[in-house]
Amino acid sequence: DIVMTQSPDSLAVSLGERATINCKSSQSVLYRSNNQNYLAWYQLKPGQPPKLLIYWASTRESGVPDRFSGSGSGTDFTLTISSLQAEDVAVYYCQQYYSTPPTFGGGTKVEIK
Amino acid sequence: QVRLQESGPGLVKPSETLSLTCTVSGGSISSYYWSWIRQPAGKGLEWIGRIYSSGSTNYNPSLNSRVSMSVDTSKNQFSLRLNSVTAADTAVYYCAREGAGYLFHYWGQGTLVTVSS
């Protein structure tokens, strides 16, 4: 199985400031034939369905605010919230869908400082 | 808008079988893969397995021997059965719909299942 490792476990950011979450995979999730990274990011809030934010490492899901962006390739990826809003308090997970079984990172809890 | 809703007992005894159903509304269950994913308290997400609308399945090898899934297209529902449960199976269980392979676009709200005597 591909192991996904996120850092940090939690971070506290002031409103309007940048939040950066890292995700590392134990092997590359870049599929050479189509040059796509099979890496997604999800947002989990208590009592709500998890929400897909980013897929193909950098493509925003429809309706996701543009303050959320994804970057990286191969084994190292980043989710950035450019200007943290109160409604962004949540736990964020990366996931690889390159191979089966799909696997998730351990999560990063984002809070307001 | 596709909506998914998990249902089933919130408490299961050790060694018994956990059974959950996911009801899909706002769209057809046909021609999609449908997954179950769980999250033990304080831990990350774990993919359990998936079923296609035709009934074909793929399971996580870590749970393969204890898992079975079924689909009822007439009711727009699919189900999970996990047998011989232990306390380690206590988790929030989510159902989800895939877009591209193993990419989960739609999720249910999740249901907590506790394994305890």
Tens of pLDDT, residues A20-44: 999 999 999 999 999 999 999 999 9
For residue A102, give the nearest of B47, B99, B110 by CB distance. B47
Record: contact A52-B46, CB cut-off 8 A: no
Is-contact A27 A88, C-beta < 8 A?
no
Strand partners, A94: A41
Q: A–B: how many Cβ contacts below 8 A?
A: 51
Task: Tell me how far apart the alpha carbons of residues A72 and B94 are, in angstroms, rounded to a whole number.
Answer: 28
Task: Tell me how far apart the alpha carbons of residues A91 and A82 are, in angstroms, rounded to a whole number.
Answer: 16
For range A54-83, the mean pLDDT: 97
What pLDDT does B5 receive? 97
Residues 8-67 in B contacting A (C-alpha not used; CB under 8 Å): 43-47, 58, 60-62
Is-contact B94 B108, C-beta < 8 A?
yes
Chain A nearest CA to B98, separation (Å): 11
Q: What is the pLDDT of residues B28-79, one digit of tens each?
A: 999 899 999 999 988 999 999 999 999 999 999 999 889 999 999 999 999 9
Task: Tell me how far apart the alpha carbons of residues A68 and B21 are, in angstroms, rounded to a whole number.
Answer: 33
Q: Please say if the pLDDT value at position A56 is more than 90.
A: yes
Give B-chain residues touching A101 at CB under 8 angstroms.
Answer: 47, 60-62
Record: contact A40-B4, CB cut-off 8 A: no
* B3-7 vs A68-73, strand pairing mode: unpaired
Cβ-proximal residues to A112 (8 Å cutoff; 6+ apart), any chain:
A12, A13, A14, A15, A84, A86, A89
Which residue has tokens 């940048």? A18
Is-contact A78 A23, C-beta < 8 A?
yes
Position A46 confidence tier, pLDDT thresholds 50, 70, 90 = confident
Q: Which residue of A has its CA nearest to B45?
A: A104
Longest CA–CA separation in chain B, Å? 40
What pLDDT does B100 receive? 78
For residue A55, give the nearest of B61, B103, B110 by CB distance. B103
